[in-house]
Amino acid sequence: MMKKQIHIKQKTIDMSLAIVIGMLAIALFLTGCADPFELAETVVAKPDGFWWGLWHGMVCPFAFIGSLFNDSIAIYSANNKGGLYDFGFCLGVGAFTLGFSSHS
């Protein structure tokens, strides 16, 4: 019985790892399509609201890694609507990190 239980746990770990790798690949694909703007362009453009804040929050970990290698990548929009953007950003970061929480 103990051997069967270990085998089931290994399958669960393998499946979880495959899901995480798949999600990372999809997120990298989606963030690779992002078009960076110059700061002057973003100030005159329409300010980002809740939905852009949510999206930027979800891709924040990947944007952070990209920003380490490329100065033109930012993790937060300079031109936003304030509270609604911030709320969406926080929800987006929270939605991303919930996927890595442990269930005991």
> pLDDT tens-digit profile of 74-102?
888 878 888 898 899 989 888 777 765 55
10 Å Cβ neighbour count for 52? 20
What residues contact 16, with CB distance under 8 A and at least 6 apart?
A: none
Sign of CA dihedral 91, 94, 99, 104: negative
At position 63, the amino acid (one-letter code) is A
For residue 58, CA distances in Å to 40, 41, 62, 64 come to 25, 23, 9, 11
Give per-residue pLDDT as tens, 22-77: 888 777 776 666 666 666 666 667 888 899 999 988 888 888 888 888 878 888 88
